[in-house]
Amino acid sequence: MVDRLGGRLAGQSVPVRLSRRAALAAVVLGGCGGRSVRAQTPGPATAVPVGRRPVELRQPKVLTSANGLLDVTLTGRPGVVDVGAPRPVTTYTYDNVLPGHTWEVSPGDTLRIDLVNDLPPLPHADPVDLTRPHAWTTTNLHTHGLHVSPAGNADNVFLSIEPGETQWYEIAIPDDHPGGLFWYHPHRHGGVCQQVRAGMAGAIIVRGEIDEVPEVCAAKEQVVVLQAIELGDDYQLLDPIPNPSKQEAFFPRTQILYTVNGVLNPKITMYPGEVQRWRILNAAEGKFMALRLAGHDLHVLAWDGLTLHAPDVVDEVLLSAGNRVELLVKAGTPGSYDLVLRPGSSQHPVAPGMAHGPATPTGAPVPSSELLVRPILTIEVVGSGPEMALPTALPAWDPPILPIARRRQVAYTVERDDDDEFIDFGIDGVPFDPARPPYRIKLGTAEEWTVTNAPDTKLLEHAHVFHIHVNPFKVTKINGETLDTPLWRDTFVLTGNTGDSTTFESNFDDFTGRFVQHCHVLSHEDLGMMEALEVVP
């Protein structure tokens, strides 16, 4: 069974349940700003009958700014990476690792990046259809969530860096930038989905006030990059198919590996009463990820790098593709606990928290094994140490909204022919074309937008994910109902019930220039669901 929009459905990605063992007892010695030191004491080495032992979650290498500058070379290139699967994965990477290195900066810093495109050249294709995958080894760079300039050689997604070329970026981070978790990934229209599903993504940490909260800075910090690496039977990235037959998909795959910092099913060791700070990024191309930690509450500090007024204590979080959540976990009694992932897709947005209206029937085929609920990380609670505290108040990021200058209705649309066959995705029925005049916004004003999931005549539960560059937004209403607590985000689900809407307010402040808003189900974006915007003086 094949579904052209969502990929081949006969997936073989049944997770291997890994055996466990008592291993390293970790003692956290603390330290503000996430610069914690950890001493390790070897535990008993027990025999493991089958399978690979869970390895302790490793952190991506951290590149930290010095004297106001972070200067990095970032190379997009084919790579062969051991993620703990039966065979190494052959895919596209940044610097031959999954995920890319973590960049750590402070407000006021400058990010200088030499982006080297060492991906293979493709045969010349002419003419190019902008609503189909194309030039998927041409690249560029987006710093998702950063409030920075979209112009010139800053966060400019209209740049095209061909295979063999290098582009120099210089991105100035404002002095008043919020501290939080952001990320980088390619954003060249036509090849975004291919490069992100390959694994090209990395975390960006901006330090800030949140790092000075005593209970937060005492907690060991873990960056947790969740990826959904899409592969064929031989653990290799498959090329997109611009004009698939009815038996083919635009983005073929036969399995998805849900990796955590580039590894399948690692573990985190904590002691009872220990508090850790997990900074979680959903870097999947399009998968929704609902996460639950057995036996433990999740104390949410921030969404999309934007700190809440107080920790939000929940038992599950739902991350759309592109979302980040930062939370504290306080380890309970000794034992093993699974972090359980419930994946959803745009066609099967089954993850909890998504349905805000009445359920509607779906015309989509049954979900494949790639959407099975599965553990993706194990927490081993062992040993002992000082009881750690949880904060009660946080330095919220909640700026006032400027007077609303304009209200706008926006629809995320799917165009089909008379036989219900897919034509393209669009915004208000119009697929992306960089040559079209952008929607213009005056600098220093605020707007209120209502984004609606327009009816898809074939897939009635077809969800999308709204994302806008440069400026985050404040969600005030869902389906016309005012929220008691508005939600600051840069990425927000547009739920799968036909006609669902999200209303938000946003300041268009500080930066002029051209950028985009689009669906963060990146296959939808490459197939047209994107619009150019321009903030003008």
* Range in contact with Cu ion (rule: CB under 5 A) among 43-51, 90-98, 363-371, 523-531: 523-531
Are the beta carbons of 502 and 463 closer than 8 angstroms?
no
CA 254 to chain centroid, in Å, comes to 22
Residues 6+ apart with CB under 8 A from 123: none
Instruction: Identify the helix (H) or strand (E) that includes residue 288.
Output: strand 288-293
Instruction: Give the number of other Cβ atoms within 10 Å of residue 357's Cβ.
Output: 14
Identity of residue 175: D
- Does 203 help bind Cu ion (rule: CB under 5 A)? no
What is the number of H-type helices and E-type strands within the chain? 3, 35
- Does 275 help bind Cu ion (rule: CB under 5 A)? no
Nearer to Cu ion, 111 or 519 (CB): 519
- Tell me how far, at minimum, the Cβ of 413 lies from Cu ion, in Å: 10
What b-and-e string marks burial along 420-433, b requiring 16 or more CB atoms within 10 Å of the CB?
eebebbbbeeebbe
How is 407-467 classified by DSSP, letter by letter? EEEEEEEEEE-TT--EEEEEETTB---TTSPPEEEETTEEEEEEEEEPPPSS-TT--EEEE
* Range in contact with Cu ion (rule: CB under 5 A) among 14-22, 356-364, 439-447, 513-521: 513-521
Instruction: Identify the helix (H) or strand (E) that includes residue 28.
Output: strand 25-28
Nearer to Cu ion, 113 or 427 (CB): 427
Nearer to Cu ion, 301 or 454 (CB): 454
**CB burial class (10 A; 0-12, 13-18, 19+) of residue 197?**
buried
Nearer to Cu ion, 210 or 351 (CB): 351
- Tell me how far, at minimum, the Cβ of 464 lies from Cu ion, in Å: 3
Say how far apart CA 293 and CA 342 lie, in whole Å. 11
Q: What residues between 436 and 465 interact with Cu ion by CB under 5 A?
A: 464
Q: Omega of the bond prior to 127 within 30 degrees of 0, cis?
A: yes
Nearer to Cu ion, 229 or 521 (CB): 521
- Does 521 help bind Cu ion (rule: CB under 5 A)? yes
- Does 83 help bind Cu ion (rule: CB under 5 A)? no
Q: Which residues pair with 26 in a beta bridge?
A: 40
**CB burial class (10 A; 0-12, 13-18, 19+) of residue 363?**
middle
Number of residues that bind Cu ion (CB under 5 A): 4
Nearer to Cu ion, 187 or 524 (CB): 524
Site string for Cu ion, 291-330 (x = CB under 5 A): ----------------------------------------
Q: Which residues pair with 449 in a beta bridge?
A: 408, 504
* Range in contact with Cu ion (rule: CB under 5 A) among 206-214, 484-492, 497-505, 517-525: 517-525
Nearer to Cu ion, 374 or 524 (CB): 524
Site string for Cu ion, 462-491 (x = CB under 5 A): --x---------------------------
CA 54 to chain centroid, in Å, comes to 24
- Tell me how far, at minimum, the Cβ of 23 lies from Cu ion, in Å: 42
* Range in contact with Cu ion (rule: CB under 5 A) among 83-91, 315-323, 413-421, 515-523: 515-523
* Range in contact with Cu ion (rule: CB under 5 A) among 299-307, 351-359, 440-448, 520-528: 520-528
- Does 253 help bind Cu ion (rule: CB under 5 A)? no
Nearer to Cu ion, 220 or 469 (CB): 469
* Range in contact with Cu ion (rule: CB under 5 A) among 136-144, 184-192, 371-379, 514-522: 514-522
Binds Cu ion by CB under 5 A, chosen from 207, 474, 489, 524 = 524
- Tell me how far, at minimum, the Cβ of 348 lies from Cu ion, in Å: 13
The owner of tokens 């698939």 is 244
142: which DSSP letter? E
Q: Which long-range contacts (CB under 8 A, 24 or more apart) does 437-440 make?
A: 438/514, 438/531, 438/532, 438/533, 438/534, 439/531, 439/532, 439/533, 439/534, 440/533, 440/534, 440/535, 440/536
Nearer to Cu ion, 196 or 331 (CB): 196
- Tell me how far, at minimum, the Cβ of 460 lies from Cu ion, in Å: 14
- Tell me how far, at minimum, the Cβ of 519 lies from Cu ion, in Å: 3
Q: What residues between 56 and 75 interact with Cu ion by CB under 5 A?
A: none
* Range in contact with Cu ion (rule: CB under 5 A) among 125-133, 232-240, 388-396, 518-526: 518-526
474-475-480-481 Cα dihedral, nearest 10 degrees:
-110
Nearer to Cu ion, 235 or 412 (CB): 412
- Does 519 help bind Cu ion (rule: CB under 5 A)? yes
Which pair of structure tokens corresponds to residue 314?
């929940």
- Tell me how far, at minimum, the Cβ of 425 lies from Cu ion, in Å: 6
Residues that bind Cu ion (CB under 5 A): 464, 519, 521, 524
